[in-house]
């Protein structure tokens, strides 16, 4: 049996990977507006959740650009203060806004009524601008008591139902509580956790995208 030459072996080693769908059509811009769970706290460059979602959409043939507007430490109040400025600074109107805030509210035990008011105000602004929204929800830990948990956890389903927005009920679903998927702080997902979330969330992002303009 003939033996491969060194050049042939090198060619085989550098062969192109299996083909994936090439992004096609007009560029679809998605604004990911949120806190550290979007910003990519504790992760390397290109490892954030918006990066992972963009990669999956492009692998699926969608010419998507996901703009990361996550700021670590942002509460819903801080997000409310900066939302209009961020929207006005975009190069063009986004096709979809992913809105993911609330984690820092629960860490600080901010009143659910205040969180609801801030989320409502942001959604009202997005509605005035006629921007489709995908909400990524947050949930409170049970140690904060049943009254707080019930009031807090209801915010995202209520608002999604009110406006008819797409909802991913809990951004850390299937990740939090699993040490293999979380950073040492037990609050933020590691790379594997981000990929788990992106696998579940990217199809909803695709569904939420309106027809190309």
Q: Which residues are catalytic?
A: 36, 185, 188
Residue 15, classified by CB atoms within 10 Å of its CB into exposed (0-12), middle (13-18) or buried (19+), is: exposed
Query: In this structure, is the dihedral angle defined by the CA atoms of residues 141, 114, 69 and 26, taken in order, positive or negative?
Result: positive
175-to-78, 90, 102, 117 alpha-carbon distances in Å: 26, 32, 17, 28
141-to-6, 83, 115 alpha-carbon distances in Å: 59, 27, 16
3-state SS class at 150: helix
What DSSP element (H or E) covers 6?
helix 6-13
3-state SS class at 160: helix
The whole-angstrom distance between residue 36's C-alpha and the CA centroid of its chain comes to 10
Residue given tokens 């921007």 in the structure block = 131
List the end-to-end C-alpha distance of the chain, in Å, as a whole number: 58
Cα 139 to Cα 98: distance, rounded to the nearest angstrom: 17
- Read off the DSSP letter of residue 10: H
């Amino acid at each position: 049996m003939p033996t491969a030459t060194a050049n042939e072996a090198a060619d085989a080693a550098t062969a192109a990977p299996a083909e994936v769908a090439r992004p096609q059509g007009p560029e679809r811009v998605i604004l990911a507006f949120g806190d550290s769970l979007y910003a990519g706290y504790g992760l390397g460059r290109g490892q954030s959740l918006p990066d992972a979602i963009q990669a999956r959409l492009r692998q699926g043939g969608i010419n998507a650009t996901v703009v990361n507007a996550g700021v670590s430490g942002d509460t819903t109040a801080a997000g409310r203060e900066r939302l209009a400025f961020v929207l006005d600074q975009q190069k063009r109107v986004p096709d979809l806004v992913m809105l993911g805030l609330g984690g820092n509210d629960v860490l600080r035990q901010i009143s659910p009524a205040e969180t609801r008011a801030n989320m409502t105000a942001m959604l009202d602004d997005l509605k005035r601008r006629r921007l489709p929204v995908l909400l990524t929800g947050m949930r409170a830990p049970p140690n904060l008591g049943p009254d707080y948990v019930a009031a807090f956890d209801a915010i995202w389903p209520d608002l999604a139902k009110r406006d008819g927005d797409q909802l991913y009920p809990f951004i850390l679903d299937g990740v939090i509580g699993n040490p293999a998927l979380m950073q040492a702080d037990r609050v933020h997902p590691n790379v594997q956790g981000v990929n788990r979330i992106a696998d579940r969330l990217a199809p909803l992002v695709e569904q939420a995208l309106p027809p190309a303009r």
